[in-house]
Amino acid sequence: MAALLALVSAICYGVSDFSGGLGSRRAAATAVVLVSNAVSLLLAVLVVELLPGSTYSGRDMLWGVAGGVVGLLGVVLLYRGLAIGPMSVVAPLTAVLSALVPLAAGVLAGERPGTIALIGVVLALPAMLLIGREPSRPAAAALSRGALASALCAGLSFGGFFVLLAQTGPDGGAWPLVAQRAASVALLLGISFVAALRQRGSVLLPGGRILGLAAVAGITDFAANLAYVIATHHGLFAPVAVISSLYPASTLLLARGVLGERLARQQTAGLALAAVAVALIALH
């Protein structure tokens, strides 16, 4: 149950990244993220009303706010790293760190996955590296200190996001996600307002097809977060977080199917290795 929900989470995270990334090619990334987060917030409020057993807790709301701030910081740092450094290094490094942080947190908390599940976790790490490699870019591309720092901090932020959301109680339902998205939307509105003042303009929101892509990103991101939170309440936290961190696989497959991008041999090997890793963790 937990492994299946974590897999759903990874797939939805990947779809969200693909949709948001595609929209960001034609509009400001901040505007796309603002719309997607607003859609996620709306869904969270609706689910709270519709999902039976959702109990409000101040503690869960605080964890959600912390997760929203840390997660948004990770997005900003990742975008900065991708902008100034080689994507073939920045992206997989961020993904692996986002898995290592919750793995370490789980071990420190006393979680001890079985041998088979542990093998799956170990296999998942190189799978992320293989999936994230871009053959069109030289592997030896220079990685500046700024790009390295951005990648490391982004990975730590995403890993922290996973850890923070996992601290919520099993009866909270979607309430922590309401707090998470409310915090990120408030921050994004503040950033957009300051940017508009500096440029003496107005906050421009995407329209048409880009608006649709941003909405899809928001819907799937909310579904991913909800599946992840529920998964952490039905299984060991560390393996769940590792499976969820395999989200680049679904992004890669969508790029292949929708945009016609070709898969390199190492990426295909990474997808196969990821499938084996998920299967082993699920057997726990």
Per-residue model confidence as pLDDT tens digits over 195-222:
767 766 555 666 778 889 989 999 999 9
**Interatomic CA distance for residues 125 and 100, integer angstroms:** 8
pTM score over 0.75: yes
What is the per-residue DSSP string for 223-284?
HHHHHHHHHHTTS-HHHHHHHHTTTHHHHHHHHHHHS-PPPPHHHHHHHHHHHHHHHHHHT-
Q: Check whether 21 has a pLDDT greater than 90.
A: no
Measured CA to CA, the distance from residue 133 to residue 89 in angstroms comes to: 7
User: Which tokens belong to 73?
Assistant: 């910081």
Structure confidence by residue, pLDDT tens digits, 147-198: 788 888 988 998 999 999 989 988 888 899 999 999 999 998 888 777 767 7
Residue 242 has pLDDT above 50, yes or no: yes
pLDDT tens digit sequence for 32-86 = 888 999 999 999 999 988 877 678 889 999 999 999 999 988 888 877 776 676 6
* pLDDT at residue 18 in the model: 84
Question: Which range marks the domain in which residue 276 is found?
Answer: 2-282
Banded pLDDT at 140 (limits 50, 70, 90): very low
Instruction: Considering only residues 226 and 128, tell me which one the structure prediction assigns the higher pLDDT.
Output: 226
Sign of CA dihedral 175, 177, 179, 182: negative
Mean pLDDT value of segment 268-277: 85
Range 4-16 average pLDDT: 91
Count of the separate structural domains present in the chain: 1
Which amino acid is residue 106, in one-letter code?
Answer: G
Write out the two tokens for 171: 């009866």
Q: What angle do CA 81, 231, 219 make, to 5 degrees?
A: 60
Element of type H or E holding 79: helix 58-84
Report whether 252 contacts 263 (CB < 8 A).
yes
- pLDDT band with cut points at 50, 70 and 90 for residue 136: low
